[in-house]
C-alpha cells in the first residue's frame, strides 16, 4: 500500500530533494510494514511468572559460571518448558451432541 501511495504521489514527493524514493524497492515497503505492524506486540510482550523467570535466571547463571554445560542447559530448559506446559489448561468449549437426521421416506414405485 505504501508503495502504491509513493507511486501515486511521486510527482509531489519528487520535489523533496533529500529523499529519493525511486531508489526504494517494493520489498523495503513490505519490510517496513512488517516492522510497524509487529512493534506493538514487541512492547506488549507478556512476562512469565516470577517462578519461571527465576528458573530461567538460575539456568543462565549456571551456564555463565561454567557449572553447567550447553547440553545440560538445553535439557534443563526442556524440563522447564515441559513443566510449564503441564500446568497450562486449555478451555475447550463442549461440543454439541450431533442431531439425528430424519429418515428420508422413500417413494415406492409401483411397477410391473
Q: What is the mean pLDDT of residues 85-109?
A: 75
* Model confidence, pTM: 0.43
Task: Tell me the chain's radius of gyration from C-alpha atoms.
Answer: 30
- pLDDT tens, residue by residue, 27-66: 777 788 888 888 888 777 777 788 888 999 999 999 999 9
Size of the chain, expressed as the number of residues it contains: 112
pLDDT attached to residue 100:
79
CA dihedral over 26, 32, 35, 38, signed as positive or negative: negative
State pLDDT tens for residues 5-25.
777 777 776 676 666 666 677
Amino acid at each position: 500500500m505504501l508503495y502504491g501511495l509513493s507511486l501515486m504521489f511521486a510527482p509531489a514527493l519528487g520535489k523533496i530533494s533529500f529523499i529519493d524514493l525511486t531508489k526504494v524497492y517494493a520489498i523495503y515497503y513490505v519490510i517496513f510494514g512488517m516492522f510497524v505492524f509487529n512493534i506493538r506486540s514487541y512492547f506488549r510482550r507478556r512476562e512469565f511468572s516470577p517462578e519461571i523467570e527465576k528458573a530461567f535466571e538460575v539456568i543462565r547463571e549456571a551456564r555463565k559460571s561454567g557449572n553447567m554445560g550447553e547440553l545440560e542447559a538445553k535439557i534443563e530448559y526442556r524440563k522447564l518448558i515441559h513443566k510449564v506446559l503441564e500446568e497450562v489448561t486449555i478451555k475447550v468449549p463442549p461440543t454439541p451432541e450431533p442431531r439425528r437426521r430424519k429418515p428420508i421416506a422413500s417413494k415406492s414405485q409401483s411397477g410391473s
